[in-house]
Amino acid sequence: MPTDQQLAAAKAIKAAKAKTAPLAAQKLVVKGIAKPRNIPMVVKPPQGNVVLSATPNTVPVIPADWAKLGVQTGYNPKPAADLNLCVVGPSGEGKTTFESSIPDTMILDLDKAAESIVGTRAMRVAISNYEHYMQVTQKLIDDGKNGKHIVHRVSIDTTDIWVDMIKLRLQTEKGCDDITEFGAQGHGWAMIRERCWSRLRELEEAGYVWSCVGHMITKTETNPVTHKERTVIRDAVFPTFAAKIINSSDFKLTIYCINKEVEKKTKKALPGGRIIEVPCGTEMTSKYYLDSYTTTERQGKGRGAPGMNRKFEIPLLNAWDVFVKNYNVAIEAAKGK
């Protein structure tokens, strides 16, 4: 038999439940209108993203029907050979030399600079005019769609001359003196950008990867707040064109040369037979660098290789091999995490 204390406790619990339970008879009066307190809740079916089961440090299992549609998971960066590249730098400081060191490449040489590169691994074709450019790119596209890729990479060298060629062609087609003033709100600039970009996309869809090589120039800008001038480095092509290429690339690489005057020394024998080094004038040394950092002066980009060394010295010959080595080291380190 329960004790009096147990009965009292049970009674108190029952009274508490009665106070908190929904009361069908209770009414909430608002401005004289009685509304029931126990409005039934509508239970909706589960909505939102499908959550795939996964535990820490593992990847989710993708359903077979989604896998057939190409759904993937996990870290799987491109091989270096498949990277789309935007390569920029000052004139004469190693851009075309770097591009010529990439095997399985055809350079569309609008700048007529690739012919002077020593130790090249790439093919080149000197583009003479718009018609020649269209013939070469159309053959690449047609062959690519038929599985006959003569090369894996197509390189445009340089983008600023490419833009000028397309600009002249559009002016002829539209019968105007300056296509950049055609239409309104930058329509002429957009026509140049899209004419170039559409051809690059066709090459990409035909199975090629691409490189766009361009010059950088110095430009004086005025701060609108402080009204102070500063000299910055910018891509030679117009901003929206540069942004289109950079945003679509995997890496934006700035290549430049740093020259330094160093003291030359020669060995001299003293009367006692001791050999010493003595100054004998000066000489210039040049070091070439590849840089994908973003700074206040310029934009860089590096996709797919977290932790990669973003600035390193490159040789004049076979510089591509040094880039590939740094890229692969970063990928292997990332896969081990």
Give the residue extent of every domain in the chain.
Answer: 79-257+286-335
pLDDT of residue 1: 58
Structure pTM?
Answer: 0.75
> Tokens 């108190």 identify what position?
12
Residue type, 316: L
**Could you tell me if 316 and 97 are in contact, meaning their C-beta atoms sit under 8 angstroms apart?**
yes
pLDDT of residue 44: 61
What number does CATH give the domain 79-257+286-335?
3.40.50
pLDDT of residue 9: 63
Residue 156: strand pairing partners: 108, 212
Write out the chain's pLDDT in tens, 337 residues: 566 666 666 676 666 555 555 444 444 444 444 545 555 555 565 566 666 666 666 778 899 999 999 999 888 899 999 999 999 999 989 999 999 999 999 999 999 999 999 999 999 999 999 999 999 999 999 999 999 999 999 999 999 999 999 999 999 999 998 898 887 778 999 999 999 999 999 999 999 999 999 999 888 888 788 888 887 788 899 999 999 999 999 999 999 999 888 788 888 888 878 888 888 877 888 899 999 887 766 777 888 888 899 999 999 999 999 999 999 999 999 988 7
Reduce the secondary structure of 95-109 to three states and give it as a string.
HHHHHHCCCCEEEEE
> Tokens 């069908």 identify what position?
24
pLDDT of residue 25: 44
Residue 166: exposed, middle, or buried by beta-carbon count in 10 A (0-12, 13-18, 19+)? buried
Distance from C-alpha of 83 to C-alpha of 211, rounded to nearest angstrom? 9
Closest residue by Cα to residue 250 from 169, 331, 161: 331
Closest residue by Cα to residue 138 from 195, 203, 209, 211: 203
pLDDT of residue 251: 94
Q: How many CB atoms lie within 10 A of CB 158?
A: 26
Helix (H) or strand (E) holding 334: helix 319-335
pLDDT of residue 96: 95
pLDDT of residue 283: 80
Question: Helices in 206-318 by DSSP H: which ranges?
Answer: 239-248
Which two structure tokens, joined as six digits, stand for 210? 């691409």
> Tokens 């402080």 identify what position?
226
Distance from C-alpha of 175 to C-alpha of 194, rounded to nearest angstrom? 19
Phi, then psi, of 109 in degrees rounded to 5: -90, 85
Residue type, 37: R
Cβ neighbours of residue 144 closer than 8 Å, sequence gap 6 or more: 203, 206, 207, 208
